[in-house]
Amino acid sequence: MGWHLSILVMATTCFMLFPISDQSSQSELLQQLRKQLEYPRQLDTWGNPSSDPCYTQPTAVLAVTCEGNALMELKIIGDRITKPPKFNGYSVPNVTLSEVFVLDSFVTTLARLTTLRVVILVSLCLWGPLPDKIHCLSSLEVLDLSSNFLYGSIPPKLSVMSKLRTMTLDGNYFNVSVPDWLDSFSNLTVLRLQSNLLKGFIPASIGKADVLTELALAGNSISGDVPNLGNLSKFEMLDLRDNQLDGELPEMPTALVTILLSKNSLKGEIPEQFVQLNRLQHLDLSFNFLVGSPPEESFALPNISYLNLAANMLSGSLSSSLTCSSTLGFVDLSTNQFTGDLPACLNGNMNNKVVKFVGNCFSTDPAHQHEAKYCHQSHKERGSNKDVGLVITVVGILFIVLVLSLVLMASNKRSCQIVLVEQQFLQKHKQDNSTSGMSSELLVNASKSS
Ligand SMILES: *[C@@H]1O[C@H](CO)[C@@H](O)[C@H](O)[C@H]1NC(C)=O
Ligand SMILES: *[C@@H]1O[C@H](CO)[C@@H](O)[C@H](O)[C@H]1NC(C)=O
Ligand SMILES: *[C@@H]1O[C@H](CO)[C@@H](O)[C@H](O)[C@H]1NC(C)=O
Ligand SMILES: *[C@@H]1O[C@H](CO)[C@@H](O)[C@H](O)[C@H]1NC(C)=O
Ligand SMILES: *[C@@H]1O[C@H](CO)[C@@H](O)[C@H](O)[C@H]1NC(C)=O
């Protein structure tokens, strides 16, 4: 009922926005779009009055597809433009379209091309909040507005676009939370909102978006848990890299082919259930705070080719009988707390397999491993040791400063020397710190470059 109501609302608002005058023909609307886009050079061919955009040969940067006279697809890829360090919602000279550009008017023009099924308008310097009237493109199946300067929220009215299959809004400035109405899309299979400024949690309702196959939210500031997508039987690709997710890993839907969760703050162990992911090819859990031992069968998953567990707090020893899938081409175990021998199937870069394991306590390649005691300390102990160390250092410095100032009072003449001694002390302390506390990222980068 609610659904029908929203269709009705949609029909009326769109009807009011665009009374069926239809005086302006399709090609006039296209000319209008060209003007509003401030004549990008990709559209120079439209400048020739004798050429009909429907009949121009599609190129990599421009495609206009028509069926009969009805416009089906509009694809314009602008010049890639480096993003300004700070975009505050207003036009930036030579970066965004000019200040006279109004996204709302542009979308009004666009939405009158009601037959459109595919709209791809990438890197065109569009700027502004995305107006919700874009939902009036009710035949739309693919919407890609990547690499523009869109900000604010993703309009909830988009959810009435029942034919929409793919929505890609990567590389914009959307800065509210991830929409919680995604399950109301009946046909949405691909959602990409990477490299925006999204914050807040991933709504649990996403676990009900039945036909979803791909969710890519990498490069935002999303926090909270990885949602439970266990019921999504068609789900193949999850990319949540580079966010602030800090929960434990949930069980994953078994159709998954790619799981990318690196550079978050995920805790807990890798669930045993991961060994049921028979289609999995690419698993990246690097740069998190995962603990425990990874399930050994994950090295033997039938289709696994890339397995990156680097820079976590994984521990224990891998059994010598561990088997590797013949498809496995890359394994990174660097910068964890593994002990014991490296299992034979990971030892030596056999069968064109790349295996990285520096910064653990393996008995193999001791030159690049820590001493055993490093891996037997839990993270917490090491943390508190560090705190104790810090306190001792601070007390030490205070003590030395006190002694030095007593000496200073005794003899004012030697002040230059004292400062020197103090500087040397601080310098030494800094060096000590930087060698023992070398960041895991550095180690991993070092291992990568080697
Ligand atoms: C989103 O970005 C715009 C433009 O920079 C800004 O005006 C607005 O306050 C931001 N909104 C939020 C919720 O941060
Ligand atoms: C913008 O580009 C024009 C022409 O390339 C140049 O003359 C002008 O100085 C540029 N403006 C800014 C603010 O960079
Ligand atoms: C969803 O997609 C299917 C197949 O692509 C199509 O038959 C169906 O009409 C679509 N649903 C809606 C509401 O458009
Ligand atoms: C999965 O579906 C079952 C049965 O429909 C339901 O009970 C359960 O809550 C669902 N799980 C999630 C995470 O949505
Ligand atoms: C493994 O991958 C191949 C191709 O990459 C694919 O044909 C095959 O169906 C996959 N196996 C499973 C169990 O998904």
Ligand 1 pocket residues where CB is under 6 Å: 88-89, 151-152, 175-176
- Ligand minimally distant from the alpha carbon of residue 161: 3
Residue 115 in contact with ligand 3 by CB distance below 6 A:
no
205 lines ligand 5 (CB under 6 A): no
Structure tokens that stand for 386 in this block: 């560090």
Q: Determine the distance from the C-alpha atom of residue 172 to the mean position of all C-alpha atoms in its chain, rounded to a whole number.
A: 13
How far does residue 22's CA lie from ligand 5's centre (Å)?
50
pLDDT tens, the chain, 450 aa long: 455 555 555 555 676 655 444 445 888 899 999 999 999 988 988 888 777 888 888 999 999 999 888 899 999 999 867 777 788 888 888 888 888 999 999 999 999 999 999 999 999 999 999 999 999 999 999 999 999 999 999 999 898 899 999 999 999 999 999 998 888 877 999 999 999 999 999 999 899 998 999 999 999 999 999 999 999 999 999 999 999 999 999 999 999 999 999 999 999 999 999 999 999 999 999 999 999 999 999 999 999 999 999 999 999 999 989 999 999 999 999 999 999 999 988 986 666 789 999 999 999 888 899 988 888 865 444 444 444 445 555 555 565 556 556 555 555 444 333 334 444 444 444 443 333 333 333 333 433 333
Per DSSP, what are the bridge partners of residue 306? 282, 330
Give the closest residue (by CA) to ligand 3 atom 8.
Answer: 163
Hey, what domains does the chain have and what are their CATH numbers? 21-378 (3.80.10.10)
| Total-model pTM | 0.80
Q: How many helices (H) and strands (E) does the chain have?
A: 7, 22
CA-angle at 155, arms to 201 and 131, nearest 5°:
145
Residue 65 CA, ligand 1 centroid: distance in Å: 36
**CB burial string 91-121: b at 16+ within 10 A, e below:** bbeeebbeeebebeebbbbbbbbbebbbbbb
Considering only CA atoms, which of 68, 232, 63 is closest in space to residue 144? 63
Q: Select from 86, 127, 148, 151 the residue to mutate for testing ligand 1; criterion: most ligand atoms less than 8 Å from CB.
A: 151
How would you label 380-406 residue by residue, b for 16+ Cβ within 10 Å and e otherwise?
eeeeeeeeeeeeeeeeeeeeeeeebee
Nearest CA to ligand 4 atom 4: 231
Position 171: which residue type? Answer: G
Q: Is-contact 352 329, C-beta < 8 A? A: yes
Q: At what angle do helices 2-17 and 103-111 cross, to 10 degrees?
A: 100
User: Residue 291's closest CA among 377, 222, 170?
Assistant: 377
Nearest CA among 204, 257, 197 for reference residue 231: 204
Which pairs from 349-355 meet CB under 8 Å and 24+ separation?
Answer: 351/326, 353/324, 353/328, 353/329, 354/329, 354/330, 355/330, 355/331
Mutating to test ligand 1, I would choose from 175, 176, 220 the residue with most ligand atoms within 8 A of its C-beta, which is 175
User: What gap in Å lies between CA 178 and CA 198, rounded to an integer?
Assistant: 6
